[in-house]
Chains A and B, each alone.
Chain A
Amino acid sequence: MGGTSSKLPKDLLSEYQELTFLTKQEILMAHKIFSELQDRENGPYSSRVSMEKVLTLPELKSNPFRKRICHVFSTSDMKDGSLSFEDFLDLLSAFSDSATLEIKSHYAFRIFDFDDDGTLDARDLEKLVNSLTGETDDTRLTAEEMRQLISNILEESDIDKDGTVNLSEFQHVISRSPDFVRSPGIHSPVRRQQHSVFRAQRQAHGTQFRAERTEKRRFGHDVPS
Chain B
Amino acid sequence: RLILSHLSLQAPQWISEQGRSRGAIISQYCNRTMQLRRRRQSRPSIQHFPRSARPSIRGYGVETDAAGFEEEENKRDRLVNNLQNLSDSDRVRMLRAMPLSLSEKKEMLVLNKAEHSVSQNQIPCCSQLKYYIIIALRHGWYGWLSFLSSLQLWQTALKCVGGRFGTGVLSYFIFLRTLLFFNVFLFLVTGLLLVVPQAITHPDQDQNITVRSSWGLEVLTGAGYFSHSLLYYGYYNNQTLQTGHSCSASGNGTSCSSGLSYNMPLVYFFTIGAAFFITCIILVYSMSKSFGQSFRIDKSKGLLAIKVFSSWDFKVIKKSSVRLQRANIGTQLKELVAEVNRQEQKFPVLQRLFRLFIHMLAWIMCLGSTLACVLAVYYFSEHMHGAASSDPLLKEASLLAVPVVVSSINLLLPGFFNVVAWMEKYDSPSMLNYISISRNLLLKVSVLGVLCYHWLGRVATDPQSLGLECWESFVGQELYRFLLMDFIFMLLDTFFGEFLVFSQKALKRKRKPVFDIARNVLELIYGQTLAWLGVLFSPLLPAVQIIKLLFLFYMKKVSLKMNCQASGKPWRACQMTTIFITLLCFPAFLGATVCVTYTMWSITPSAGCGPFRGLKNMFQAGKRWVHRLAAVNPDLHWLASAHSYLVENPLFLFLCAGIFLIMIYFHSQVVDGQRKIIELLQEQIENVRRESCEYVTVSSSYV
The interface of chain A, by Cβ under 8 A from chain B, is 15-16, 18-21, 58-59, 61-65, 73, 75, 86-87, 89-90, 93-95, 100-103, 105-108, 112, 116-118, 125, 128-129, 132-134, 139-141, 145, 148-149, 152-153, 155-157, 159-162, 167-187
Contacts and interface: CB of A to CB of B under 8 A. Distances in A.
B162 interface: yes
A108 B309 contact: yes
Contacts of B310: 174, 177, 179-180, 183-184
A106 B334 contact: no
Chain A interface, >50% SS class: helix
Interface centre among B305, B330, B334 (most CB of A within 10 A): B305
Given A129-B308, A152-B340, A182-B159, A86 B103 contact: yes
A21 B308 contact: no
A27 B330 CA distance: 36
B95 A182 contact: no
A75 to B, nearest CB: 5
Nearest to A161: B686
Contact of A183 (B293, B303, B312): B312
Given A132-B330, A187-B315, 13 more contacts: A19-B106, A62-B322, A102-B99, A103-B96, A103-B99, A132-B308, A132-B333, A133-B329, A140-B330, A168-B7, A171-B2, A174-B310, A183-B312
Nearest to A157: B305
B314 A63 contact: yes
Given A19-B105, A159-B685, A171-B2, A118 B301 contact: no
Nearest to A21: B96
Contacts of B323: 134
Interface string B320-331: 001100110111
Given A19-B95, A90-B102, A186 B308 contact: no
A126 to B, nearest CB: 11
12 contacts: A59-B317, A64-B326, A100-B45, A100-B96, A103-B97, A133-B329, A133-B330, A168-B2, A171-B2, A173-B302, A183-B312, A186-B315
B49 interface: yes
Nearest to B302: A156
B1 to A, nearest CB: 11
Given A86-B101, A87-B101, A161-B689, A65 B312 contact: yes
A152 B570 CA distance: 15
B393 to A, nearest CB: 53
Contacts of A184: 310, 312-314
A153 B304 contact: yes
B46 A105 contact: yes
B236 to A, nearest CB: 45
A19 B99 CA distance: 11
Contacts of B12: 117-118
Contacts of A156: 300-305
A182 B47 contact: no
A172 B102 contact: no
Interface in B66-119: 92, 95-97, 99, 101-103, 105-106, 109
Nearest to A59: B317
B330 A160 contact: no
B508 interface: no
Nearest to B301: A156
B102 A175 contact: no
A19 B21 contact: no
A140 B333 CA distance: 10
A164 to B, nearest CB: 11
B66 to A, nearest CB: 16
Contacts of A107: 99
B189 interface: no
A68 to B, nearest CB: 12
Interface in B32-70: 45-47, 49, 51
A152 B49 contact: no
Which are the 6 A-B pairs with shortest beta-carbon distances? Answer: A134-B326, A139-B330, A133-B330, A160-B689, A180-B310, A101-B47
Contacts of A117: 12, 17
A75 B3 contact: no
A90 B315 contact: no
A112 B109 CA distance: 30
B675 interface: no
